[in-house]
Amino acid sequence: MTESDHVCEEAVFEGLFRQLGQGLQNFLYYKTGNLKQAEDLSQEAWLRLWKACAKVTPAKAKSFLFTVANNLFLDEAKHRQVVLKYAQENPVPIAGQESPQYQLEETEFYQQLQSAIGALPEKSRVVFLMNRIDKLPYREIAERLGISQKAVEKRMSKALVELRKLTQSI
Amino acid sequence: MEPKQHPDLADETLLARWLSGELTEVERQEVERHPHYKDWVRLVQATDQMKAPAYASEDAWNKLQKARTETKKEGPVLQLRSWMAWAAVIFVAALSLYLLWPSENSVLQTGIGDQIVEQLPDGSTVRLNAESQLSYTIKGTNEKRLLNLKGEAYFEVAAGSEFVVDTELGMVEVLGTAFNVFAREDDFWVNCLEGQVAVRAKVDEQVNISAGESAYLLPNGRLARRSNQALADPVWWTGQTQFKEASLTDVLEEFSRQYPYEIVYDQLPNKKYTGPLPHNDREAAIQLLRSAMGLSFTILDDKTIRVNLGAE
């Protein structure tokens, strides 16, 4: 390994940050449902990477970051109840043809959906939101979480089945 | 191990592959004819519009830069001149090194086909199987030893205080000396080779197993205990994995951890495999599965092997 492709190298470190910064913070947000906490934990994970930069190759940096972030989350949030709130770009479909009744139903549906997502098992929720919100392909999610693509697909499917149950039962 | 199934969908990855547009025509029809299809479409459309909180990359980067410089500054900023002050600084530095250094999280990691043996700071030995990761904070034998495992590992524990292996699926607390832990995806099992271990799944339930016994996670989240010397004797570090009545999916998944190939197939026979899977001889491994299970293997490229029913 040459010095130039080392994580301690400023350009490499910054490159990794630009590439993975948002994804890591979102990942923690999906876990915790708390933006402040997600910011703090992801900053801490980056600091850990930087401190350990001599021992981590750029190829391993991704799994290092997500593993450390997960450990930090486990340390901190052991028994905390997750309450998630997701900002929606467009919570109600474009007004116009739709009747007020329909719009009201849609708004209610989105509220149900939000609490249903919060009630999903954590592992399914994180995978599901990494795909639906961050638009990451399953392979990339698998790589970040250190699990197989098949496991990602199972969690995705399970999330959809569970969400349906949760939104129907409300 | 029994695969978990959703009550209404036989294939646990079907909906995920529907979402990513990877279904065959037949599968697509199955999804579209399903009574819940409309609900799924609605959920997908709704979640498509969701966004994570805004992320300001520049701000986050600047904040991190600041934190990094502050971390750097944390060194000896004391400006003391007498030798006593220096001695004090050195003592404090040595003390914090002693206190902080070992509590730094250590990580062991293996890739496909790798295995490592490592001695932990407390004198315990761990063998890590392929595609596994172990992180731990161990100061010595007198303090609680906590380890975190993804994958499969065999432990021989030095006498001392609590030794706990945590996984995503369950927890193993050592009351004795030697045990194997397998924790991958949805599968979790523990074999005890010597002494006694306590196994806890995420539901509050503890199962104590002794030498020759194993505990494994059932699809309903509970733990079962089995007494079976053959099963309780994992010999994967001798260069092969020994399977007993294992499903073909489990065998092929282990193959992919020992050899750098992704295995693709349309259908597998519903048979159980009992026998070895050698780790260092791909052809021998294929030959064994071919003759025992009546499968044919085609190497498609340097990353993929296709498995079909029936001999070539």
Of A84-88, B29-33, B299-303, where does mean pLDDT reach its minimum? A84-88
Return the pLDDT at A88: 46
Tell whether B265 is within 8 A of chain A (Cβ): no
Q: Which residues of A53-76 are buried (b: 16+ CB within 10 A; e: fewer)?
A: beebebeebbbbbbbbbbbbbeee
The side-by-side arrangement of strands in the sheet containing B295-299 is: B262-265, B304-309, B295-299
Suggest the residue from B22, B51, B249 to mutate for an interface test with chain A (most A CBs closer than 10 A): B51
Confidence band (pLDDT; 50, 70, 90) for A69?
A: very high
Return the pLDDT at B233: 57
Q: Which amino acid is at B262?
A: E
3-state secondary structure (DSSP) of residue B151:
strand
Q: How far is CA B182 from the centre of its chain?
A: 7
Q: Which residue has the higher pLDDT, A61 or B203?
A: A61
**Mean pLDDT on A8-30:** 91
Q: Which of B301, B286, B255, B13 is nearest to B131 (CA)?
A: B255
d(CA A130, CA B122) in angstroms, rounded, equals: 39
Return the pLDDT at B120: 85
- pTM, full prediction: 0.48
Q: Is the pLDDT of residue A29 over 50?
A: yes
**Mean pLDDT on B52-76:** 75
Q: Which residue has the higher pLDDT, B20 or B80?
A: B20
Return the pLDDT at A43: 93
Structure tokens at B176: 């004795």
Size of interface A-B (CB pairs under 8 A): 134
Q: Decide if A158 and B6 are in contact by the 8 Å CB cutoff.
A: yes
To which residue do tokens 């994580």 refer?
Answer: A7
Confidence band (pLDDT; 50, 70, 90) for B167?
A: confident
Q: Which among A67, A110, A117 has the least Cβ separation from residue B133?
A: A67
Return the pLDDT at A116: 87
Q: Decide if A148 and B50 are in contact by the 8 Å CB cutoff.
A: no
d(CA A106, CA B164) in angstroms, rounded, equals: 48
> How are beta strands B304-309 and B295-299 bridged, if at all?
antiparallel
Return the pLDDT at A128: 94
Q: Decide if B15 and A160 are in contact by the 8 Å CB cutoff.
A: yes
Digit-coded pLDDT (tens) for A129-150: 999 988 899 999 999 998 889 9
Digit-coded pLDDT (tens) for B99-147: 444 445 788 888 888 888 888 888 888 888 888 999 888 777 677 888 9
Q: Is the pLDDT of residue A16 over 90?
A: yes
Mean pLDDT of the residues in chain A: 81
Q: What is the 3-state secondary structure (H, E, C) of chain A?
A: CCHHHCCCCHHHHHHHHHHHHHHHHHHHHHHHCCHHHHHHHHHHHHHHHHHCHHHCCHHHHHHHHHHHHHHHHHHHCCCCCCCCCCCECCCCCCCCCCCHHHHHHHHHHHHHHHHHHHHCCHHHHHHHHHHHCCCCCHHHHHHHHCCCHHHHHHHHHHHHHHHHHHHHHC
- What are the distances in angstroms from CA A140 to CA A23, A146, A152, B262? 11, 10, 10, 15
Tell whether B175 is within 8 A of chain A (Cβ): no
Q: Which of B158, B152, B137, B240 is nearest to B191 (CA)?
A: B152
Q: Which among A42, A137, A157 has the least Cβ separation from residue B14?
A: A157
Digit-coded pLDDT (tens) for A84-114: 555 444 444 444 455 666 666 777 787 788 8
Q: Which amino acid is at B118?
A: E
Structure tokens at A125: 């929720």
Q: Exposed, middle or buried, A35 (CB in 10 Å: 0-12/13-18/19+)?
A: middle
